[in-house]
């Protein structure tokens, strides 16, 4: 996953330290609600590739791994 900085015009990884979140695969949907961005698809970045939804907290800038919905 990546984010675009409109001030600098650059892309960078959407990660938080060692937890990079989903790092490859197919994203089928992205939605924002409140302080969270939800990403759904067939994603890699955990022990195995799975179909699921991941949640990123834009305030804490962390992937909330416990929020995986399979």
- Residue 60: strand pairing partners: none
- In the chain, the number of structural domains is 1
Higher pLDDT, 67 or 21: 21
pLDDT band at 44 (very low <50, low <70, confident <90, very high): low
Largest CA distance in the chain: 36
Q: Identify the domain containing residue 56 by its residue range.
A: 2-67
pLDDT band at 20 (very low <50, low <70, confident <90, very high): low
The pLDDT of residue 52:
76
Whether the model clears a pTM of 0.85, i.e. scores above it, the answer is no
Q: Give the 3-state DSSP-derived string for the chain, with helices as H, strands as E and coil as C.
A: CEEEECCCCEEEECCECCECCCCEEEEEEEEEECCEEEEEEEEECCCCCEEEEEEEECCCCEECHHHCEC
């Amino acid at each position: 996953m990546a984010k675009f900085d409109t001030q600098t015009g650059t892309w960078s990884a959407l990660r938080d330290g060692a937890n990079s979140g989903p790092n490859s695969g197919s994203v089928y949907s992205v939605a924002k609600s409140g302080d969270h961005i939800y990403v759904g698809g067939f994603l890699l970045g955990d022990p195995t590739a799975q179909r699921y939804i991941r949640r990123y907290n834009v305030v804490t800038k962390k992937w909330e791994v416990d929020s995986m919905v399979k």
